[in-house]
Amino acid sequence: MEFGVNSILTFIICYLIGSFPTGYFFVKTSCKKDITKEGSGNVGTYNALQVSGSKAIGIIVLIIDFLKGAVPVLLLVLVFDEDMTNVYISSIFLIIGHNFSIWLKFKGGRGLAAGAGIFAVLNFWILVSWCLVWVIFYLFKKNVLLSNFFATLFLPLFAILLDKYSVHSTIKFLNPSDNNLLAVFVICISLLVLFKHTEVLTKIFPSFGKNLNK
């Protein structure tokens, strides 16, 4: 497909929507703390919860970041009837904005809540699969970040299996042939999320951390 001015504007708007620093905003306004300088420095739900010490703030950040992913994608599909390739690329820009916010000198979250919102719209079963693997790892390891990492690592496999067994998009009137791009899309999202979990790799593979710091 060709990308015109409208497509480029859509990508930019999605990036800016994703860039809204939910965790930073709520922790700053309620606790007078700079979340980028405390805890892990991440502006996502987990660090917002840890830095603020407030479950309410953690839940608010989670919900808004989830909606940052879900609402734009839902509008692109239902209201603007965008080509699915455009929808997939726009979704990637939502995650890029969330992870590398222009308002925070390109710091950001890990992309999990926004990604969950996106998959809730495009293919709910990928989200269910992610949650299932997360729970399994957490029961054994009791580590949130490690569970995040491995659940995300398996996402492309889920996409391939769902496509193979014709478990199609949540929005049933989408063309099933669009699922041919699903695995590529999921790989892109997974890489963006995994990139923000490099500290997990340093724990699993100490040599990785040494090479990273050279």
Confidence of residue 123 (pLDDT cuts 50, 70, 90): confident
pLDDT value of residue 62: 96
Angle at 103 between CA 101 and CA 104, to 5 degrees: 70
Q: What is the pLDDT of residues 59-84, one digit of tens each?
A: 999 999 999 999 999 999 889 988 88
Q: Which amino acid is at 174?
A: L
Domain that holds residue 140: 5-212
Mean pLDDT of 75-96: 92
Question: Is 170 or 198 the better-scoring residue by pLDDT?
Answer: 198
Exposed/middle/buried for residue 202 (C-beta within 10 Å: 0-12, 13-18, 19+): middle
pLDDT value of residue 161: 83
The whole model's pTM is what? 0.88
205: three-class secondary structure by DSSP: coil
Task: Say if residue 213's pLDDT is above 70.
Answer: no
Question: What is the domain count for the chain?
Answer: 1
